[in-house]
Structure 1
Amino acid sequence: MNNTWWVSESQLDPDQNKCIAHSIRKDHLITGSPGTGKTNLLVLKALQMRKSGMTNIRLLVFTRSLKEFIAAGVSQYGLNAEVQTFDGWMISFIREHSKKPDMRQDFNERTLARVNQCMDIAAAYGTGFYEALLIDEGQDCLDEQVRLFRSLAPVCYVAADHKQSIYRGVDGLKMWQQVINK
């Protein structure tokens, strides 16, 4: 990975500094065009959270390539943080609670089934699984995923851009705006 994409807090512009100054104990939605540093800001926010003593946080992303890119940034900052894809996290979460993940062939059906499995686990075990979730490419989350993630942590830090959506008919950004701006 090209480490030149990762910048330190001293290299941020004024808008990015406002984002970094936002409380680590409150939800935040980062929006911006491609290349504006949303992913970098999530990694810097994760670093702030760790330095403040928050240890049970997760960085969740949509694709494996983005996971690998973020892992490079995380290691560059000396941050030991769990970075997982949405699907990989759901599989792990389901297995951690002695369940078998749904293995349907159709991606959409499988995703919804796994979200429902995770929701059932969350309902059975209560809330507060994580201190914070940091979610990149939030515009690609299904409404059900947004509700799931929201139920698992008191703080959600989300980066999203409706122009970068991979899926037609999915508007995770709108749902995140609704739950974060409450």
Structure 2
Amino acid sequence: MFWIGTNQLDTEQRQAVQNIPTSDSFLLTGPAGSGKTNILLLRAKFLLLKGESNFKIIVFTQSLRQFVVAGCEHYGIDPDSAVTQMRFFREILKEYGVAVEEPEDFEASRALLAGKVMSLIDAKRISDSYCETLLIDEAQDYTDTELLVFRGLCKRLVLAADSRQSIYKATHTPDLPERLVGGNVVTLRYHYRSGLSLCKVADAILSDAATYPRVQAGCHYPEAEKPSIVRSVPCNTFEDQLATIVENLREHIALYPGEKIGVLFPKREQVEAFKEILTVSALVDGNKQIWVDTMHAAKGWEFRAVHLGGGEVLSRMGPVQKRLIYTGVLRGKTSANIYYSGHLPGYLNAALAVLEPPQPDPEFDDLFKK
């Protein structure tokens, strides 16, 4: 999950860590599994060893912060350096004596916090000397205001982003990240997490190659050693899905001892329903391998096998649904199971079909069968 030696980095990854002057801002782009979060952590360690400890690693969700905190502990970085953007903004406002009554709605709350901090910047009550460096993970998920606030709070800005994994309603102006770092972009071409089958399905989900670069071309996963697989698992009801996932988890715990296994759903209430089932099941997870969360919250994580439940509700997730299931599939390394009751969206069925041989033409009578 985290690198332990220089021999594990390719040339482009080394450049992003070591060959860019610490005085420079830059944007790091690359597909899922290309090591962007790891590079942010190593860049932070590089700054630390140069005596430049006034930095923050900003993440979007509390779940991702847990992953980054584990990375901080692995590389010898103060875990308190990692903070969610919402908490970061709240701490600044509290420090400068700005009272805020946040609305319950998440999007409204994040907009209010960013606006209040921007007001401090505009009023010159706070400057870019607040932090020497801000390292922003999942930068594609931030709004224009949030990105401009980050830029106004630091001397150097390091952004890591992949537009293919933008799964929140609020997005920024397409070229804003590049402008905020003066056009200094480092592109990672290769990724090492997800097997070829997962990459093929992901590419077929985001089928517009003009907008979404293909990930299978840069796949360096050891397919010959651990052949990858993506399966759809039809179930009669959502409750049947939950029971089937539990049974499949038994197999994966035995098959992948000591490795993380993800169980992800589109909606929070589905997550809570599965947690209840897991609590009363006889499944033994002594090594704490199983991670249960929403697809949104699991960004940045990686799992040897990933179980994606509730596929039938994807069609109700609005314009982000394709990028949501795309991100979910690419959380997996070797295996991805997609569970559903009723119907999967047509684009997802078509994506899964790329792994199957072409189907023969149906008989005319078949058209009248359910």
Show structure 1 runs of 5+ residues with no match: none
- CA offsets per residue over residues 109-149 of structure 1, 9 Å max, x none? 22121111112223323331000000000000100011100
User: 2, 8, 12: which is aligned to 2:9?
Assistant: 12
Q: What does residue 114 of structure 1 align with?
A: 113
Q: Which amino acid aligns with 2:83?
A: Q
User: 41, 51, 59: which is aligned to 2:57?
Assistant: 59
Where do residues 24-173 of structure 1 align in structure 2 (5 Å cutoff)? 24-81=22-79, 82-122=81-121, 123-168=124-169, 170-171=171-172
CA contact (8 A) 1:136 1:160 kept: yes
Deviation at 1:9, TM superposition (A): 5.1
Change (3 A) 1:49 1:94: same
The separation in 2 between residues aligned to 1:124 and 1:169, in whole angstroms, is: 27
Change (3 A) 1:88 1:173: farther
Q: Which amino acid aligns with 1:126?
A: S
The separation in 1 between residues aligned to 2:180 and 2:128, in whole angstroms, is: 16
Change (3 A) 1:99 1:118: same
Q: Which amino acid aligns with 2:131?
A: Y
SS at match of 2:99: coil
CA contact (8 A) 1:32 1:160 kept: yes
The separation in 2 between residues aligned to 1:137 and 1:24, in whole angstroms, is: 21
- CA offsets per residue over residues 56-96 of structure 1, 9 Å max, x none? 10000101111110000101111125110111111111111
Q: Which amino acid aligns with 1:140?
A: D
SS at match of 2:56: strand
Q: Which amino acid aligns with 2:37?
A: T
Show structure 2 runs of 5+ residues with no match: 184-370
Change (3 A) 1:102 1:142: farther
Q: Which amino acid aligns with 2:129?
A: G
The separation in 1 between residues aligned to 2:116 and 2:142, in whole angstroms, is: 16
CA contact (8 A) 1:43 1:73 kept: yes
Q: How many residues align?
A: 178
Q: Rg: which structure is higher?
A: 2
The separation in 2 between residues aligned to 1:158 and 1:48, in whole angstroms, is: 16
% identity of equivalent residues = 29
Mapped pair 1:180 → 2:176: no
The separation in 2 between residues aligned to 1:126 and 1:146, in whole angstroms, is: 15
The separation in 2 between residues aligned to 1:98 and 1:18, in whole angstroms, is: 41
SS at match of 1:45: helix
The separation in 2 between residues aligned to 1:12 and 1:101, in whole angstroms, is: 44
Change (3 A) 1:96 1:131: same
The separation in 2 between residues aligned to 1:125 and 1:133, in whole angstroms, is: 15
Q: Which amino acid aligns with 1:133?
A: L
Q: What does residue 238 of structure 2 align with?
A: none
The separation in 2 between residues aligned to 1:134 and 1:71, in whole angstroms, is: 14
CA contact (8 A) 1:60 1:84 kept: yes
Q: Which amino acid aligns with 1:27?
A: S
Aligned-pair Cα RMSD in Å: 1.6
Q: What does residue 228 of structure 2 align with?
A: none
Q: Which amino acid aligns with 1:31?
A: T
CA contact (8 A) 2:40 2:135 kept: yes
Q: Which amino acid aligns with 1:73?
A: G
SS at match of 1:17: helix
**Structure ranking higher on relative contact order (CA contacts 8 Å, 6+ apart):** 1
Higher helix share: 1
